[in-house]
């Protein structure tokens, strides 16, 4: 940037003094004239609603009755002590955790392969990203057809062709969480692949060349150059995937409405059914605030880990 | 990062892994498209993989002509306009905001940036109810009085389709990272020539940010095109302005219900799903050249 001007005589008028102040702080002035509207918008449409939900979480409210009944911390107490909510949280952690690990591992593996000089890798890359660009609700509808009971379901017709017994998938407490995991993985893994690939391609090739001159082997290059170089992008993928996989709810909703026997009820699905099904807004709000706190704590811990890593 | 020559077995292994896994990823989509060209009888005969036997577009014509849930053609136009609106805002906001965060020094810069990033953590479902109340009770809108009472506000009206979620935090982050990859020399040279901030941004930086902006456009288009839950809540009561994802969802639901007693006409249902998926796939295919290139910036620290 240009150097700051030095003034010898003190400015006479107020207007001139203002102009001088603006010149001295021009970066701040530009930044805030751009960011103030954004901040206002962000506060009004994101943080005000959150604060409203915090307020609602201390009440019992069925949307119709006014005013809501104040109940203090009872909702939070119920979530932290009630068995139903324990199960919901446990399922969210297991389903979300499995999806997260699967997506990270597979996405990294596929991205490594796609980063090799292979013919037709653009086609493979396109295929892996396709499920991401298609509507989740529509895709879940497709999966529902595969899980259709009896022999009309695609999977069952395969089982029958192989000489097995058809499975009533949608009634199985073992299989439905499995299919929710598979669906979420299938839908989300493409973003991981594409971001890992972007990370791998942004590694400076001269680093590899220099190390090769020093006689480093394949594994050593991978361990000492690739891994540290893509650490930031890995963290970015991890945090966004973490936030996403703890919020899985579309697949349980479209496939079995959280069933069978609540076996695919994740916390966001439970929020949804408390808010729009049972009309217990206080409970829905308390769950969402707890989830928000967990997500923020987990993400900021991860960020701090990276900062400490430097 | 190829080192020397790759042994043949390794090449075969890599192709095999990629091909097999890609087939698994692709299978449901191919199933979906193929079944739309299959007659219902043939579909039920071979459910694992439908073998097309009617090579015409009668299923698609039926879907496009069905106005029972609001006309699909109209929904498509509405959604295209809406997507354009959101893309323009996402780009504008991230171009200006990204510049401020990447190139300017000002007090509380990091705190403000982290504040925006916190938006990524907020479950969309969390803010839905308060936003609904805010839109419904907006003063002087949709027959509301100055206290926001008496009318429907913006709910079920056009503004509800374009007011929410205009600040795309991912886009802001992505563009900011991309700014940081551009050397400051370009800007300094332009400044010496007397260019102002806006000229620097739009004539120097924007052309260099094109891949990243393309990525932003793709991400935003996909998000808006597939946005189903927001419209369901905010404009669900007005079939004249329903975006395409909600219309298709309703069509599929109606077909499933209507045919629940007999057998469902899955080729028809899949035709709706396919039709809905074509635009996002086309946009992605057309622009994917820039996509990975545009995402490279997230790898930077900062």
Most confident of the following: A112-126, A161-175, B90-104: B90-104
The distance of A75 to chain B (nearest Cα, Å) reads: 16
- Token readout for A166 is 């058809």
Best mutation target among A116, A124, A137, A205 (most B Cβ atoms within 10 Å) is: A137
B113-152 burial code (b ≥16 CB/10 A, e <16): beebbbbbbbbebbbbbbbbbbbbbbeebbebeeebeebb
The distance of A227 to chain B (nearest Cα, Å) reads: 12
Using an 8 Å CB-CB cutoff, list chain A residues near B122: 46, 50, 292
Cβ–Cβ of B97/A35 closer than 8 Å? yes
Residues B7 and B10: their CA atoms lie apart, in Å, by 5
The distance of A217 to chain B (nearest Cα, Å) reads: 9
* Other beta carbons less than 10 A from residue A122's beta carbon: 13
* Local structure of residue B203 (DSSP, 8 states): I
**B266 inside 8 A of chain A by CB:** yes
The distance of A139 to chain B (nearest Cα, Å) reads: 8
Using an 8 Å CB-CB cutoff, list chain A residues near B120: 239-240, 243, 299
Cβ–Cβ of B298/A145 closer than 8 Å? no
pLDDT digits (tens, 9 = 90+) for A107-117: 999 999 998 88
* Residue in A with minimal Cα distance to B14: A113
pTM of the predicted structure, to 2 decimals: 0.88
Cβ–Cβ of A247/B123 closer than 8 Å? yes
- Token readout for B296 is 């490279």
* Residue in B with minimal Cα distance to A30: B100
Q: What is the ipTM of this complex?
A: 0.87
Instruction: Determine the 3-state secondary structure of A70 from DSSP.
Output: strand
H-helix segments, chain A: 14-24, 26-42, 48-57, 74-81, 83-114, 121-133, 136-146, 154-161, 175-201, 205-213, 218-221, 227-229, 231-245, 250-256, 267-272, 281-309
Lowest mean pLDDT among A124-133, A176-185, A207-216, B179-188: A207-216
pLDDT digits (tens, 9 = 90+) for A239-296: 889 999 999 888 888 887 877 878 888 889 999 888 888 888 899 999 999 999 999 9
* Residue in B with minimal Cα distance to A48: B130
């Amino acid at each position: 940037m240009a150097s700051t001007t030095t003034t010898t005589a003190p400015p006479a008028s107020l207007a001139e003094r203002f102009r001088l102040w603006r010149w001295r702080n021009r970066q701040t002035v530009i930044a805030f004239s751009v960011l103030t509207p954004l901040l206002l918008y962000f506060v009004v449409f994101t943080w005000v609603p959150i604060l409203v939900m915090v307020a609602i979480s201390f009440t019992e409210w069925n949307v119709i009755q006014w005013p809501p009944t104040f109940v203090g911390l009872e909702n939070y107490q119920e979530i932290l002590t009630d068995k139903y909510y324990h199960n919901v949280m446990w399922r969210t952690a297991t389903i979300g955790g499995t999806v997260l690990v699967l997506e990270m591992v597979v996405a990294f593996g596929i991205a490594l392969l796609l980063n090799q000089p292979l013919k037709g890798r653009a086609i493979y890359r396109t295929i892996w990203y396709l499920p991401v660009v298609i509507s989740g609700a529509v895709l879940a509808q497709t999966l529902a057809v595969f899980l259709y009971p009896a022999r009309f379901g695609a999977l069952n017709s395969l089982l029958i062709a192989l000489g097995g017994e058809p499975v009533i998938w949608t009634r199985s407490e073992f299989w439905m969480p499995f299919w929710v995991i598979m669906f979420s993985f299938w839908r989300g893994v493409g973003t991981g692949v594409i971001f890992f690939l972007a990370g791998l391609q942004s590694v400076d090739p001269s680093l590899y060349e220099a190390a090769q001159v020093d006689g480093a082997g394949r594994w050593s290059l991978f361990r000492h150059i690739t891994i540290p170089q893509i650490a930031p992008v890995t963290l970015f993928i991890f945090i966004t995937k973490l936030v996403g996989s703890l919020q899985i709810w579309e697949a349980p909703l479209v496939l079995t409405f959280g069933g069978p026997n609540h076996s695919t009820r994740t916390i966001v699905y439970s929020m949804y059914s408390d808010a729009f099904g049972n009309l217990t807004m206080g409970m829905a709000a308390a769950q969402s605030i707890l989830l928000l706190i967990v997500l923020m704590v987990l993400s900021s811990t991860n960020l701090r880990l990276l900062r400490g890593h430097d | 990062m190829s080192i020397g020559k790759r042994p043949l077995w390794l090449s075969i292994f890599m192709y095999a892994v990629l091909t097999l896994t890609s087939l698994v990823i692709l299978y449901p989509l191919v199933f979906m498209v193929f079944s739309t060209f299959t007659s219902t009888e043939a579909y039920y005969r071979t459910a694992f993989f439908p073998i097309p036997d009617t090579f015409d577009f009668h299923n698609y014509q039926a879907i496009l002509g069905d106005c029972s849930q609001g006309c699909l053609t109209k929904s498509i136009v509405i959604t295209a306009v809406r997507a354009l609106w959101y893309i323009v805002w996402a780009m504008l906001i991230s171009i200006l905001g990204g510049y401020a965060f990447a190139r300017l020094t000002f007090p509380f810069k990091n705190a403000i940036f982290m504040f925006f990033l916190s938006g990524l953590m907020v479950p969309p479902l969390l803010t839905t109810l308060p936003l609904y109340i805010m839109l419904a009770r907006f003063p002087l809108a949709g027959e509301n009085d100055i206290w926001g009472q008496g009318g429907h506000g913006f709910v079920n009206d056009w503004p509800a389709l374009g007011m929410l979620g205009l600040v795309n935090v991912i886009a802001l982050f992505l563009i900011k990272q991309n700014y940081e990859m551009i050397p400051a020399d370009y800007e300094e040279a332009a400044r010496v020539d007397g260019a102002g901030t806006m000229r620097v941004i739009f004539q120097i930086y924007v052309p260099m940010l094109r891949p990243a902006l393309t990525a932003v456009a793709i991400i935003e288009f996909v998000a808006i095109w597939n946005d189903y839950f927001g419209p369901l809540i905010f404009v669900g009561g007005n079939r004249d302005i329903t975006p395409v994802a909600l219309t298709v969802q309703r069509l599929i639901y109606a077909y499933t219900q209507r045919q629940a007693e007999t057998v469902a006409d899955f080729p028809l249902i899949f035709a709706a799903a396919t039709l809905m998926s074509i635009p996002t796939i086309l946009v992605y295919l057309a622009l994917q050249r820039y996509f990975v290139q545009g995402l490279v910036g997230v790898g930077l620290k900062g």
